Structure 1
Amino acid sequence: LKVVKQCCATDGVEPQYIKDEILPHFFKHFWNHRMALDKRNYRQLVDTTVEIANKVGASEIINRIVDDLKDENETYRKMVVETIEKIMANLGAADIDSRLEEQLIDGILYAFQEQTTEDVVLLNGFGTIVNQLGKRVKPYLPQICGTILWRLNNKAAKVRQQAADLISKIAAVMKTCQEEKLMGHLGVVLYEYLGEEYPEVLGSILGALKAIVNVIGMTKMTPPIKDLLPRLTPILKNRHEKV
């Protein structure tokens, strides 16, 4: 993998050659469950795939792995998310067409909902995909927010925490998409969750509220600041650093 990575990065190795001669074998032999289960292989495979994408473009690689966001193996799904996240962070979403964009959102929603252990990889992956797609996410926002609201109500603390963290990550995009109404709704729901007993989760809920106030502005905030402040003041006594 390291050799493939270095060779593909070398000047003079043409993108077309990589597409025709390397990629079919590369995906056939390296992209499998066995690789995902070994930590070192996992790391190196992600790095090599990201390096190849720098040469052949984002969509060329993402097209080949996007369906694996729905793979039955969770570790493998995580490897796919991490690879897509790094590729999109590097290269943006310019060459991702509407079909692929649809598959991406559909797949990341699936992977996010199907996690058995809440993982920062999926949180970051979701955040990066949404932020890189920017305005194009608008049609999917109701569905994304539906998922977040559903998970904010989960009985597992980690799930609630992660849902709140996702709001912080995508608030700016909701603003770009002019989804004030949706953000207002999230604000009201978060406000109702300020009684959260777990400090880690409460910290994330406060972070999400802050993100919404930041993008929506004090004057348009729902619930209004005059209701929000009396509710927040007693929380100042909380000893937990994050809170």
Structure 2
Amino acid sequence: MVLRAPLWTSRHQAGLALAEAFADRRGLSGDTTLVALPRGGVPVAAAMASRLELPMVTWSVRKIADPRWPELAIGAVATGGVVVWRHGAGGRQRTTTATEHGWLRDQERELERRHRLFGDPPGDQLRGRHLIVVDDGIATGMTVKAALLSLRQVGPASLALAVPVVDREVAGELDRLVERMEALAVVGDLQAVGLWFGHFEQLSDRQVLALLEGARRACDHPHLPHR
């Protein structure tokens, strides 16, 4: 099958499609949690939460980039002191550069701000649970890899990854870090995640908080009809 962008009108629509892939987890709120990566993963996870009747939390992670090329991730930082660099050991020079120029510290501060603002849970609340990590798309894989390594530290029962679109090469790397991976579209040389959505706005903190509040209310009333 030939995939042509865009495939979804919005992150919400992609989330509903991903919910179908995880229909076997529907209603298993006693041991399963959706873990959204802010900001883009939140509307995807919110749509999944509404269909699957599962609790949803955030797990903040930050891309590290050279300010001259802000869209290109050279690394990422996540909770628990996890830092990953592009090209692994070959990224040592990037480590030095990012540290010397303060790029790493800037993102560590932003990580902490988001952790507090979005209410990321302490790791012990996720221990022993089946975690479904959700993002809106994966190009380089840096932020998702950092998130998965960070979440593995909390001792989950299992880690799954749910994503609408992912680069084919990166998918192979990430698949080794999880027990289950569901991607709606696996494409070669993924340059821009946003091209696969008809509407792909940059979300504000306020929008993220509203989505989280809506998901919490829905979780408190799981028998309300879906919209």
What is the TM-score normalised by the length of structure 1? 0.22
Rg: which structure is higher? Answer: 1
What is the TM-score normalised by the length of structure 2? 0.23
